[in-house]
Amino acid sequence: MFARRVNLLEDDLVGSGIEFFEMNPLEPFLSELCRHVYSKGVITLYSETYSPASWDVKKTPEGWAYGTRKEHSRLFRVRILSVLRKDAVMAVVLRSYTGERDSETGIRVKEIRGYRVWLKEEVGFEQIAAEDMVNMSRKDSFTGNDLEPEPAVLYCGPNDDCYDGWLRTRTPRQEGEGDEARI
């Protein structure tokens, strides 16, 4: 596998003067995420050590862009690898906009997926079940009180099983479906 040495200066991401070899260990995971982005989305990274960080993701003619500037795509990968190197595990939430509007509220419909990502010898990941995503979103993390379901949101899990906030089964938007409505 081709590797090139990269000197990193982003102290807040990996520490001063650290070097690592970039070998695209994230590609299977990033391909999984991008498979669920119709045109735009937001990826949020959660870890024990670092504050949550959100990155825009969008499809461009050159491929996928992470962040709002060209150099952000590299920093996005660096952030993930840095977190995994330090904590060995992280949570990732993807919010992708379908281009559809909710018939009751007029709000853009989004799909939410969660992943557990880890680093052992290789980067691995598993998708969190849709029901678990719904249940997590329906609890106030400080009080434990139940929250009302968010309108225009589909919580999706493995095999593209999707539920709305009331745990009613819904079908996710398929690739190419409603392209004229894409944002």
Query: Considering the domain boundaries, does residue 179 fall inside one?
Result: no
- Which pLDDT value is given to residue 95? 95
Query: Considering the domain boundaries, does residue 137 fall inside one?
Result: yes
The beta strand positions in the chain, using DSSP E, are 4-7, 19-22, 40-46, 53-60, 63-66, 89-101, 108-119, 123-127, 153-156, 162-163, 169-170
| Tens digits of residue pLDDT in 43-79 | 999 999 999 999 999 988 888 899 998 889 899 999 9
| Tens digits of residue pLDDT in 93-103 | 999 999 899 88
Sign, CA dihedral 46-49-54-59, equals: negative
Domain of residue 70, residue span = 4-174
Query: Considering the domain boundaries, does residue 180 fall inside one?
Result: no
pTM of the predicted structure, to 2 decimals: 0.78
Confidence of residue 33 (pLDDT cuts 50, 70, 90): very high
Query: Considering the domain boundaries, does residue 43 fall inside one?
Result: yes
53 near 82, Cβ under 8 Å?
no
CA distance 54 to 90: 14
Query: Considering the domain boundaries, does residue 127 fall inside one?
Result: yes
Query: Considering the domain boundaries, does residue 44 fall inside one?
Result: yes
Confidence of residue 140 (pLDDT cuts 50, 70, 90): confident
pLDDT at 12 over 90: no
Query: Considering the domain boundaries, does residue 118 fall inside one?
Result: yes
Number of domain units in the chain? 1
Query: Considering the domain boundaries, does residue 181 fall inside one?
Result: no
- State the average pLDDT for the chain: 81
| Tens digits of residue pLDDT in 143-177 | 989 898 888 999 999 988 898 877 676 665 555 54
